[in-house]
Structure 1
């Protein structure tokens, strides 16, 4: 089959790019190829379904593991990534944050012209339908529904009060004038259901020029000389070729986009030859520069009926909440689990927050893979701008094999120091009256007080909070993988459009920035003038808020 554009990866950036290209160029055809299934699972739509989707490898979760991490005492970390339409927006905690404006200004100063805060804000606003309404920071009429939680657990509000009592500021909009502070997150939900990238961009509107192909694993990029002309994929046990008259775009994420480049001959020459891959472009930067948010959790048993547990009273509470959700789309099952959190400074002298907090109304231990019967709560702190740099390399030349993922967690002493201060911040908040009054006992951290003991515990228990970026770094220097127009260096007709292009990790969740990248990439590919602040909040998206979205597999023609 021939198309004008072939996009590999139906995740957050890929869905945004596919829809905007199809709408912006109705005379051109677009193929969106996704390795996983359609997003038609009840667990995907159910907000609390993430508690079942994240912990284990499945049809909808790649469930990768890292290489042994020296900074984590030799442990192998866990790396859940969404597999299926919507990508990780189908299994994440639905937190809508964009990062700090200074993060994007850092990109521009590093040579990424057109990617400053003033450049990207219009795309965030164009992408958004914020139920609070439009203002200088937010948009309405966009495809992504952003909402306040329909039900906020009382303990989430206790956390905000405790943070204030501990001396930290409070923010009611982390994407507005003041990012710093503790507060309640806005979420990508509509009417108590998850609003992932596929529902935002693909459902509810039939486009004759957009074909969505699911359960199809792209094995390599096809070239004619130096020009990318299509992809070779495996579907239903057979190999097929989709040809691209204009461009091939990789939107497979921070792990799989560099893997596909390397399997297609673009990467470090010596490494490619070691795996029997013919070198097309010697690009040492492919797979390098991996950055991720490293996270530490303090769990605390607290016996209170509003907290999640699996004792008989706790199970009865879950049953009652299930009935509430079925009737009203409210209650615990409409929760994103991490309802509260915020952006705090571990040192008041810092220019920007260096910690992101996530407060959970239950015990989250080992990515929720270790079950605790007793009720409790969890408070996380993650390092927002880690100094450690890792890499993604090939395990083999076959895309069916998981890549080797080495985030180099806590290799930089600065990250250890920041996370240690983060652990102290957690304890300050938990000791404040609004939370301390409920009593309880810490689990793994009980009796661990000295810096040495706490550092050892951090190395024994810290892990990702699921925001890998940077492995196809954008830049203006020759060592970067893509230029500021996201074109892969050394070849023609090939771009990368996803979180892997971020030169540095932004200070926040990466889902909204990934969709922003897809939005901006569409304008770059269509040769449009950049979006402006004045026009950004008037971007009606037909069908985006239909009452009963149609499954994309039925709404879009299939090849």
Structure 2
């Protein structure tokens, strides 16, 4: 059998094994394909569980619990960390496997999770190669110069055929290869001439065995920044094994067999891996010009900007968003929010209002968790905030150059747009970042391939020689001191703990203009301020916290924009989409939509996890029969989610506000938060008008093909009332009263703000009133939510204030 026929046989066998649930015992002849396609360090949930338990033991030497670097093999590549070989591995579980990938990233600064599995012998894989960046040139030689045109043509033809087969394979199986093979349409890119192929010859040594491999690197031709495939490090690697004694001058393409087929997956590159480190590697004591607490939506652009002219330490209590498919892939949006395990990117909390909420615990903050909509604040908002319009516009453009995209308009979103126009949400403003009345297509932080770009991407602007970012660095408190002759206390450092619980201290360098800047968000900033002794004195003393400044307004003015939705089952399949179209009404409600996402999964999980909490918080009688009925409803929605979507409304403002208090003195604990949804009648009136607009859109002619003809709006309302979207009591009148429906089914849209507002806790330069050397620059300083989504403005604020702080710093020097 010739190599190509053997390859086709492998594909057929692999497809059959996938469809049979990997029940076939004999896997050796397709083992390279299995590992290449089915095993990804950053997507362990996609790997079939029984792949780890093969009866014939052929995988025994492959999957690691603890990777042991073979120094001899590593030496073959001259100690280059971008190509590291591992051996002596044994089976393990998913979580351990995923943790290994995390550990490798922490150990090797240049490691990005590009994974290539290499067959050394025909029946056993003895090593796993992780490749990141350019392949080291030692023992690698170009073979193109030694090939005549005929051989090159034949080799290219064979290569293209293998690539096309590899890309097509996931489409022919029922197994979900998302984030492994089908993220990018290489076939289409090849036809458009966007790819280039580089051939390299590698002499490979392992356990005394010498072999030669031909490795093809398939890369995008265009510059990364202007490419239609942004942020791509490398496309795929194809490793070919020469089946005969190799002679560089007389070898034949027909003797090549694809042993690892497509061995590298496409991943967004980590833009800042030089200076992003685990806090466990931090010295016990360090000194910086600026210490920023919170690597979130505002903290990342702020740190990047300040690093251009000063030394900066950025402390982030979570991990990196890169390599986590729940964050990076649009289809996994709901999975990110439902993952509330310890250390996950989203930390769940339940407000005193009985509404589920999450706060970010990851570099990039809320921009790593949200629905991705990108829209600027209205001009009136900018003017009211006292920001310079010209500088604000420049800051917005700076942000948009990295994370702003125009979303592709497909059928569901187009139907919602046309429905809004049909019911009178006019005029149509097309695609724009600007906030204006009518219907528009807004921006998104998801690129055209559905990959998320967060505020962490803005760290690419940082000066790598002046900035350090520590991950899993939880600030314990801000350090204050009283200097002789000064009336106000001043900050001089921060105490933080790493993932192992070890305490570190970061101090401001001895320069009077140096500052600590809180950017921990609307929940984290007022919490840490209180833990540090700045807040309501009575409340602080109740928790035995030494009072530095009695500031009763810390934690006041907390607000969240309430969201209410209707789920609309569709007779037609719908695309996966998050927020793209928005109807900005004149009565103060914003109408948006999303489709094809299994939000129901996260609701179902919460239903089981929070059963006891439900009873305790609401006092509502909840029998097991009622629980079972709710679960059945959830299962029905889960089965139809991919054929439907939600249309939601969010009110502007809001006018209703609440407060935040400490539950404990542990910074890892959630504070007690009350938002007082719909406390003010005007907020409730806006919700009712918004729900009426949604009903009109659902009944519109433009939206008719996505609505079952026999489904009534009342049925959709009843459906939402049967779903446990929150922990609030349900009232029978909610089925006939939109006012009660809004109150009973309210959810968060994660737009928290307030708690450290300008004019109350900070001045117009965002300096904390009553102390020196401390600013707060994040959403906690806002009185109301800017535009339809605050993330664009919060990122802009980080850049805007960074520039302003540097100007003030150096203008004083001059």
Q: Given the two structures, how large is their TM-score scaled by the length of structure 2? A: 0.54
Does residue 508 (structure 1) correspond to residue 788 (structure 2)? The answer is yes
Deviation of 1:174 (Å): 4.2
Most deviating of 210-219 and 498-507: 498-507
Shift of 1:460: 1.1
Structure-1 residue corresponding to 2:769: 489
Match of 1:547 in 2: none
Q: CA deviation at 1:341?
A: 2.4
Residue of structure 2 aligned with 1:471, choices 755, 758, 761: 755
Change in CA separation of 1:482 and 1:105 when aligned onto 2, cut-off 3 Å: same
Displacement of 1:452: 6.0
Match of 1:202 in 2: 459
Matched residue count? 460
Q: Does 1:339 align with 2:580?
A: yes
Once the two structures are superposed, the pairs formed by residues 366-445 of structure 1 within 5 Å of their partners are 368-370=602-604, 371=634, 372=637, 373-374=639-640, 375-440=643-708, 441=711, 442=713, 443-445=715-717
Residue 117 of structure 1, CA deviation = 4.7
- Report the alpha carbon displacement of residue 106 of structure 1 after superposing the two structures with TM: 2.7
1:68-87 counterparts in 2 under 5 A?
68-69=352-353, 76-87=354-365
Q: Deviations over 1:360-403 (max 9, x none)?
A: 12477679524521122211011111110111111112212111
Which residue of 206, 213, 233 corresponds with 2:496? 233
Alignment match, 2:277: none
Following superposition, the deviation at residue 173 of structure 1 comes to 3.4
By how many angstroms is 1:101 displaced? Answer: 1.6
For 2:63, the equivalent position in structure 1 comes to none
User: What runs of 5+ residues in structure 1 fail to find an aligned partner?
Assistant: 70-75, 109-114, 130-143, 308-331, 347-353, 531-559
Query: Quick one: distance in 2 between partners of 1:356 and 1:525?
Result: 34
Return the offset for 1:262.
0.2
Helix, strand or coil at the partner of 1:81: strand
Question: Is 1:61 the equivalent of 2:319?
Answer: no
The alignment partner of 1:369 has SS state of helix
Secondary structure of 2:754's partner? coil
Contact 1:22–1:209 at 8 Å: present in 2 too?
A: yes
Q: 1:166 corresponds to which residue?
A: 423
Deviations 1:45-69 (CA, angstroms, capped at 9, x unpaired): 2222222102342434343333332
Q: Secondary structure at the match of 1:189?
A: coil
CA distance in 2, matches of 1:38, 1:175: 28
**Residue of structure 1 equivalent to 2:547:** 279
2:551, 2:761 within 8 Å by CA — same for their partners in 1?
yes
Q: Say whether residues 1:460 and 2:733 are aligned partners.
A: no
Bigger relative contact order, structure 1 or 2, given CA contacts below 8 A and separation 6+? 1
Q: Contact 2:351–2:674 at 8 Å: present in 1 too?
A: yes
Partner of 1:316: none
1:52 match: 335
- Alignment of 1:360 with 2:618, yes or no, is no
Cα deviation for residue 17 of structure 1 reads 0.6
Partner of 2:396: 124
| 1:273-321, Cα deviation, whole Å (9 max, x unpaired) | 11111111111111111122111101122221225xxxxxxxxxxxxxx
Distance in 2 between residues matched to 1:215 and 1:451, nearest whole Å: 46
Distance, in Å, in 1 between the alignment partners of 2:554 and 2:718 is 43
Is this contact kept in 1: 2:555–2:660, CA < 8 A? yes
1:143-222 alignment, distance < 5 Å? 144-149=402-407, 151-169=408-426, 170-176=428-434, 179-190=436-447, 192=449, 193-199=451-457, 201-203=458-460, 207-222=464-479
Q: Secondary structure at the match of 1:513?
A: helix
Rounded Cα–Cα distance in structure 2 between residues aligned with 1:57 and 1:156:
30
Between 1:356-365 and 1:497-506, the stretch displaced more is 356-365
CA contact (8 A) 1:65 1:78 kept: yes
Tell me the equivalent position of 2:295: 10
Q: Provide, for residues 29-79 of structure 1, a one-character-per-residue CA deviation record: whole Å limited to 9, x for no partner.
A: 11000000112223322222222102342434343333332xxxxxx1111
Q: Provide the residue aligned with 1:311 in structure 2.
A: none
Distance 1:427 1:5, change over 3 A: same
SS at match of 2:737: helix
Cα deviation, residue 206, structure 1: 6.0
Q: Which has the larger radius of gyration?
A: 2
Q: CA deviation at 1:484?
A: 0.9
After superposition, residues 255-266 of structure 1 pair within 5 angstroms as 255-266=523-534
Aligned partner (choices 379, 383, 387) of residue 101 of structure 1: 379
Higher relative helix content:
2
Residues 100, 452 of structure 1: alpha-carbon distance in 2 compared, 3 angstrom cutoff: farther
Kept in 1: contact 2:307–2:462 (CA 8 A): no
Aligned residue number for residue 317 of structure 1:
none
Contact conserved, 1:107 with 1:503, CA < 8 A, in 2? no
Query: 8 Å contact 2:334–2:599 — kept in the other structure?
Result: no
Q: Does the residue aligned with 1:445 lie in a helix, a strand or coil?
A: helix
Query: Secondary structure of the equivalent of 2:430?
Result: coil
Q: CA deviation at 1:469?
A: 0.9
Q: In the TM superposition, what is the alpha-carbon distance from 1:167 to its structure 2 partner?
A: 1.5
Cα displacement (A) at 1:190: 3.8
> 1:31-46 counterparts in 2 under 5 A?
31-40=313-322, 41-46=324-329
2-structure distance, mates of 1:61, 1:386: 27
CA–CA distance in structure 1, aligned partners of residues 742 and 409 of structure 2 = 30
Give, in whole Å, the separation in 1 of the partners of 2:706 and 2:599: 21
Q: For the Cα contact (< 8 Å) 1:356–1:384, is it kept in 2?
A: yes
Distance in 2, Cα, partners of 1:460 & 1:367: 21
Contact 2:420 2:439 in 1 (8 A): yes
* Aligned-residue offset at 1:152: 2.9
Distance change >3 Å, CA 383–CA 5, structure 1 → 2: same
Distance verdict in 2 for CA 1:364–1:285, change over 3 Å? farther
When normalised by structure 1's length, the TM-score is 0.78
Distance (Å, rounded) in 2 between the aligned partners of 1:522 and 1:95: 24
Structural mapping, 1:263-342, within 5 Å: 263-306=531-574, 332=576, 335=577, 337-342=578-583
User: Contact between 2:654 and 2:784, CA under 8 Å: does it hold in 1?
Assistant: no
Distance 1:205 1:282, change over 3 A: closer
Aligned 8 A contact 2:571 2:705 in 1: no
